[in-house]
Amino acid sequence: MSGNWLDAVVLARRALTGRIAEFCIGRADGRPLPMAESGSHVELHFGGGERHLVRHYSIVGPLTLAGDPEPFWRIAVQREDRGRGSAFIHASFRPGTALRVSPQINAFRLSRHRANTLLIAGGIGVTPMVAMARSLRRRNMEFSMLYAGQDRSAMAYVDELESLCGDRLTLHETKRDGIPGLVRLLSDQPAETVAHVCGPSALIEALRDAAASLGWRKERVRFEVFNAAHRPDDSDFEVRLPTGRRIRVGAGTTILEALELAGVDTLSSCRRGECGLCITDVANCDGELDQRDRYFSTEERRAGRQIAICCSRISGRALVLNI
């Protein structure tokens, strides 16, 4: 995305739950931002200097069925106690805070030509689902939605989804209802339903397993992973290039972002370990590769000859890339 960033500003902030806050982000020059497609997300650049951080957030979009486009982008951020990006945003984003944003990126397209759509959201993974539910409703298409979270008070946008979806929405509070029965849920769907799921990796993996056990074709489960690139216990390491250059990859950033900041030519698209465009040959690593992509097969991952630099890291101190 380098080169296309826009100067932006936080226009408004409100609390959605104890840990989730919503931010409306507009252009710094006051011109309207384009209406986001459902399923799209945006890269936020903020912090500056040594604390330069980049994070991806889904664009939630308008919260009602009314047709007026929003001239800003609405995102919702869950504060992770040890998450550098979300903690920084919660602590410092106020109306007037300056940041930079990428154009919208859509790697999680809503399949609009299917007989039936099933939306599944886990926790903060609800954010792209609000826009999808609204889009399906506005087109009068068949869909249903399962929204799982600890309990209602910890779940964002419940009221809005109830009014957007009516009885198509099932709220699943895990404190009360336990783990959702995904095989049962998929078994109950009309033939050729396509599922879109967003949430923690465990939910996505469980859904993919359930679909595979029922013989669903892989394309019938579309998913988006949250925060594949960042974990609270990440640590710094160094990337070395054939030219001899050494580039520090801080715990709050990715190899791709560190290389971009250092002016190294890179290729990328999804920036979340799904498309394979950023795959880079590994010449050496003094620890283990920590592969966080969803692109490689199990054998390729085990071979460890390449790495998805947009999201994967290492457990050691130095990684030598053939770039």
In the complex with ligand FES, the residue whose CB is nearer, 17 or 253, is: 253
- Interaction of residue 278 with ligand FES, rule CB under 6 A: yes
Binding-residue total with ligand FES (CB under 6 A): 14
Cα–Cα distance between 254 and 275 in angstroms, integer? Answer: 16
Q: Which residue has the tokens 């902030």?
A: 13
- R_g of the chain, CA atoms, integer Å: 20
Q: What is the helix (H) or strand (E) element at residue 56, kind and residue range?
A: strand 53-58
Note whether 308 binds ligand FES by CB under 6 A: yes
Q: Which is nearer to ligand FES, 53 or 278 (CB)?
A: 278
Task: Give the separation between CA 273 and CA 321, rounded to whole angstroms.
Answer: 17
Q: Which of 25, 275, 285, 314 binds ligand FES (CB under 6 A)?
A: 275
Closest by Cα among 283, 231, 234, 277 to 256: 277
Select the span of 44-52, 90-98, 242-250, 275-283 touching ligand FES (CB under 6 A). Answer: 275-283
Tokens 């049962």 map to which residue?
Answer: 184
Task: Please check whether residue 84 is in contact with residue 2, taking contact to mean a CB–CB distance below 8 angstroms.
Answer: no
Beta carbon nearer to ligand FES, 5 or 114:
5
Burial class of residue 308 (count of CB atoms within 10 Å of its CB; 0-12, 13-18, 19+):
buried
If one asks whether residue 271 binds ligand FES (CB under 6 A), the answer comes out as yes
**Contact stretch for ligand FES (CB under 6 A) within 93-101, 220-228, 267-275, 280-288:** 267-275
Given 238, 276, 301, 305, the residue binding ligand FES (CB under 6 A): 276
Place of tokens 């990328």: 268
Question: Can residue 1 be called a binding residue for ligand FES (CB under 6 A)?
Answer: no
Considering only 28-36, 47-55, 197-205, 272-280, which stretch makes contact with ligand FES by CB under 6 A?
272-280
Under rule CB under 6 A, residue 85 binds ligand FES: no
Residue type for position 261 = L
Stretch that binds ligand FES, among 9-17, 132-140, 190-198, 265-273 (CB under 6 A): 265-273
Degrees, nearest 5: CA angle 4-13-99: 25
Q: Of residues 168-187, which lie at the interface with ligand FES (CB under 6 A)?
A: none
Taking the C-alpha atoms of residue 223 and residue 194, their distance in angstroms, rounded to an integer, is: 11
Residues in region 25-44 near ligand FES by CB under 6 A: none
Give me the residues that bind ligand FES (CB under 6 A), please.
268-271, 273-278, 293, 295, 308, 310
